Amino acid sequence: MEREGRDVNDEAQRLREENEMLLEQMLILQKKLSNFQKESRHDGVGKEKAIREKVGNGKKSLVKSEISFAKANSLFESGNYEAAEKVYRDLAKKKPDYEFVVSSFIDRCLLLKAEMESNKLTPSISRKEKVGKVFCNEESGWAAVITMYKRQDYLAEQLFAIKNQSIPPKQIVVIQNENHMEIDKFLLEKYEVKLIRSSINSLYFRWIVGYLLDANYICVFDDDVIPGSRWIESCIYSCEKYNALIGPSGRRAAPFNEDRAWKSIENLSKDTYELCDWVCNSYFFKKDWIKYITQYPRYENTQKTFDDIQLATSLKMCGGVNTIVPPQSDKKSEWNGHIKREYGHDEHALWKRQASDHADERRRMIQKLDSSGYSWV
């Protein structure tokens, strides 16, 4: 009995020691977890602050904590495409939901690696960069381009909404296609607008005007679009994060669908980013991407709106640029890019006046792209 009592006491002592050791380990793990959470929050705040410092003083950030491409992007910018590709692939494995975004970055890495290996471009790229720096201006911010044809009723409201963005524009340019109306000089002076009158009625012209403006980003607006007050703030964040063309309304191609050759994407979520094949209504992109836009001849010299499809497909094929519709909460939200969508249903709407021809001709363009091997979302 005495021996059994000693065995019980020894076992109890062993369990107490083991319990104390486990408690100590738990305390260490809890401390590590607490420190990790603090660091994560600090990093998140730091990134958000960095974005705000880069684009201007915004208000509350649109997006919470999400995947970061900083390391991969840094390797890419330094020309280490092989290492960048590896990091992008690791990101795709860890975050399957973001594979559609990462794949575009991987394609860029593969393209540039192939060019360097097959054409031995390293010396010429170096010279190209040196020459490019001669022309480089230290630019920041964004500039607005508005295309007008026969609408003028919405111009005052549109200029007010653009000028009063949480990140105001550095410049505003209005392109007047043909001479169907007289633009109020008071508005031009009040909002410091530069006016370009063109007798060439081509929607392709508006992408190129951004080359003349002193800003890193360009946002081209249709003449019926009224953006919410924080739309540009959202665009800059989304464009940088996803390397993407941004718009308030998107389309996904369905080349051989009997009803419609595309599906409309109106993203009224609070935190979901929708990948699309092209966007409509307004078009936010980096000025540097204009070099990709001009690599193909325009599809047709016509007033038909093929230009939005060609914009997105050219950016994707030549620059590996995605097309994204960011979260816009609701139809009248400050984050929404088009809070007066009813304006696009007036008598001047091309899609409405020539609905049948408009849809059929766009369908043919989409089917031609499909036959060429273009990869839709």
What are the φ and ψ backbone dihedral angles of 243, each rounded to 5 degrees? 50, 60
Among 241, 256, 207, which Cα is nearest to 324's?
241
What are the φ and ψ backbone dihedral angles of 191, each rounded to 5 degrees? -105, 10
Give the E-state strand segments of the chain in sequence order: 142-148, 171-177, 193-198, 217-221, 244-246, 249-253, 262-265, 274-275, 278-280, 282-286, 322-325
**How many residues would you count in the chain?**
377
Query: What is the per-residue pLDDT for 53?
Result: 44
- Return all residues near 184 (Cβ < 8 A) that are at least 6 apart: 152, 155, 156
- Return all residues near 299 (Cβ < 8 A) that are at least 6 apart: 306, 307, 309, 310, 365
Retrieve residue 77's tokens.
Answer: 């910018």
**How many Å is the Cα radius of gyration of the chain?**
27
Query: What is the per-residue pLDDT for 82?
Result: 83
Q: What does the buried/exposed string (b/e) look like for 131-165 if buried means 16 or more CB atoms within 10 Å of the residue's CB?
A: eeeeeeeeeebbbbbbbbbebbebbeebbebbeeb
Q: What does the buried/exposed string (b/e) look like for 167-194 if buried means 16 or more CB atoms within 10 Å of the residue's CB?
A: bebbbbbbbbbeeeeeeeeebbeebebe
Query: What is the per-residue pLDDT for 338?
Result: 94
- Starting at the edge strand found earlier in the chain, the sheet holding 217-221 runs 193-198, 171-177, 142-148, 217-221, 282-286, 244-246, 322-325, 274-275
Q: How far apart are CA 257 and CA 351, in angstroms?
A: 19
Written as tens digits, the pLDDT of the chain (377 aa) is 554 555 556 666 655 655 555 555 555 555 555 555 555 444 444 444 444 444 444 333 333 334 466 777 777 777 788 888 888 888 888 877 666 667 777 877 787 777 666 555 445 556 766 777 777 776 789 999 999 887 778 899 999 999 999 999 999 999 988 777 788 889 999 999 999 988 777 788 889 999 999 999 999 999 999 999 999 999 999 999 999 999 999 999 998 887 888 999 999 999 999 999 999 999 999 999 999 998 988 887 655 678 999 999 999 999 999 999 999 999 999 999 999 888 865 555 554 555 557 788 889 999 999 999 999 98
pTM attached to this predicted model: 0.70
What are the φ and ψ backbone dihedral angles of 64, each rounded to 5 degrees? -85, -150
Q: Is residue 302 packed enough to be buried (19+ CB in 10 Å), middle (13-18) or exposed (0-12)?
A: middle
Residue 300, SS3 per DSSP: coil
Q: Is residue 300 packed enough to be buried (19+ CB in 10 Å), middle (13-18) or exposed (0-12)?
A: middle
Q: How far apart are CA 374 and CA 365, in angstroms?
A: 12
Q: How far apart are CA 124 and CA 312, in angstroms?
A: 28
Among 62, 60, 231, which Cα is nearest to 162's?
231
